[in-house]
Amino acid sequence: MKLSDVVLALEEIAPPELAEDFDISKIGLTLDLENDIQKIAVALDPTKYVLKRSSEIGADLLITHHSLIFHAVNHINRSLADILKIALDSNISLYSMHTNYDKAKDGINDVLAKKIGLSNLQETEIGRIGTISPCSAETFANHVSKSLDTHVCFTGKKEEISKVMVFGGSGFRDEYLEIAKKNGVDAYVSSELKHDIIRSWEDILLVDATHYATENPGMEELCPRLEDRLGLDVEFIDHNPFIKIL
């Protein structure tokens, strides 16, 4: 299948116009080798490990959530060169779907909400809001931990949880929590919790379930969808950062 035809399908799944302004120049075909595609690899990040595995399984295209080059470059250092070499030698194009796939139907946030088992799902401009059977804060945090198979950090004064907002990746920002508050949310699940957010939003239960564990499922679920749609072999490559807690 022609790369340009694969791209058309990917743009239907995650329309580029959904991307945040800062992100618009970073998504799409970040390495365009104009090659034919028989096999596709999918992963969260285009790390050296992920590229090696993509090469081993014979992928012609690697689709990731995060892009290879986030801040535009004039210089290519050794670490970027190592990754590019694997891609160029194995003729693997790179494609990134980031904030556009966060928001897209059945994208990062929808998969995250499903994993946590939210009901009555409601789409906001950014994350997803839903309900669970009322439970204590600790019980809810424990449920998130098990659903996503990750450690969690949590804080806040809220004691009973039934309305929940989720946002995959780094979603602890004032403007997003403003939306949560307006919607009467009890708990907010995202990652990369910061001190100033803890201080400003102590009336909401804040659950940090790690960037990896809140976004990885959305990429994994992309695989069967792509196989169905394109009739190509699609394989997920998992690269867990293995964060430890003491």
CB of 229 to a second copy, least distance (A): 24
Nearer to a second copy, 123 or 160 (CB): 160
**109 near 188, Cβ under 8 Å?**
no
Q: Is 7 an interacting residue with respect to a second copy (CB under 8 A)?
A: no
**227 near 233, Cβ under 8 Å?**
yes
Among 79-87, 102-110, 158-166, 222-230, which window interacts with a second copy (CB under 8 A)? 79-87
Binding-site residue total for a second copy (CB under 8 A)?
57
In the list 6, 26, 158, 218, the residue contacting a second copy (rule: CB under 8 A) is: 26
Residues in contact with 34: Cβ distance below 8 Å, sequence separation at least 6, in sequence order: 3, 93
Query: b/e per residue, 111-122, with b = 16+ CB within 10 A?
Result: bbbbbbebeeee
Q: Is 69 an interacting residue with respect to a second copy (CB under 8 A)?
A: yes
**171 near 149, Cβ under 8 Å?**
no
The secondary structure element, H or E, covering residue 166 is: strand 160-166
In the numeric block, which tokens belong to residue 174? 């004032």
Q: Is 81 an interacting residue with respect to a second copy (CB under 8 A)?
A: yes
In the list 32, 36, 159, 160, the residue contacting a second copy (rule: CB under 8 A) is: 32
Among 53-61, 75-83, 113-121, 224-232, which window interacts with a second copy (CB under 8 A)? 75-83
